[in-house]
Amino acid sequence: MQKQMSAQLSTNRDFIQHPGSKGDSLENAWIEWLRSYLPNRYSIDKAIVIDHKGNTSHQIDVVIYDNYFTPFIFTQNGFHYVPAEGVYAVFEVKPDIRGSIKGSGNYITYAGEKIESVRRLTRTSTSMINSGRTFPARPLTKILGGILATTNTYDNRNNKTIEKHIKSLVNLQGIDLGCVVDYGSFFVDYNGEENTEELDFIKRINEYYEKREFKELHFSRPENSLITFFMQLTQYLQQAIGTIPAIDLQAYLNVIGEEIDKEL
Model confidence pLDDT, tens digit, residues 229-249: 999 999 999 988 988 888 888
pLDDT of 72 higher than 80: no
Does residue 94 carry a catalytic annotation? yes
pLDDT of 83 higher than 90: yes
Torsion of CA 22, 28, 31, 37, to 10 degrees: -110
The phi-psi region of residue 125 (left if phi > 0; otherwise alpha if psi is between -120 and 50; otherwise beta) is: beta
At 178 the pLDDT is 96
Categorize the per-residue pLDDT at 14 as very low, low, confident or very high, splitting at 50, 70 and 90: low
Least confident of 9-13, 69-73, 148-152: 9-13
At 71 the pLDDT is 73
At 264 the pLDDT is 61
Least confident of 10-19, 91-100, 161-170: 10-19
User: What are the extents of the domains in the chain?
Assistant: 2-253
Q: What is the CA radius of gyration of the chain?
A: 19
Does residue 61 carry a catalytic annotation? yes
Average pLDDT of the segment spanning 168-178:
95
Does residue 261 carry a catalytic annotation? no
Least confident of 62-71, 80-89, 144-153: 62-71
Q: Could you say which of 27, 85, 92, 116 is catalytic?
A: 92
DSSP 35-103: HHHS-TTSEEEEEEEE-TTS-EEEEEEEEEE-SSSS---EEETTEEEEEGGGEEEEEEEEEESS-EETT
Q: Could you say which of 94, 114, 176, 248 is catalytic?
A: 94
Q: Tell me the pLDDT of the chain averaged across its residues.
A: 88
pLDDT of 21 higher than 60: no
Q: Could you say which of 61, 66, 85, 176 is catalytic?
A: 61
pLDDT of 46 higher than 70: yes
pTM score, whole prediction: 0.91
pLDDT digits (tens, 9 = 90+) for 51-60: 999 999 999 9
Least confident of 17-26, 101-110, 114-123, 211-220: 17-26
- Give how far Cα 166 sits from Cα of 69, 104, 106, 175, Å: 32, 14, 11, 7
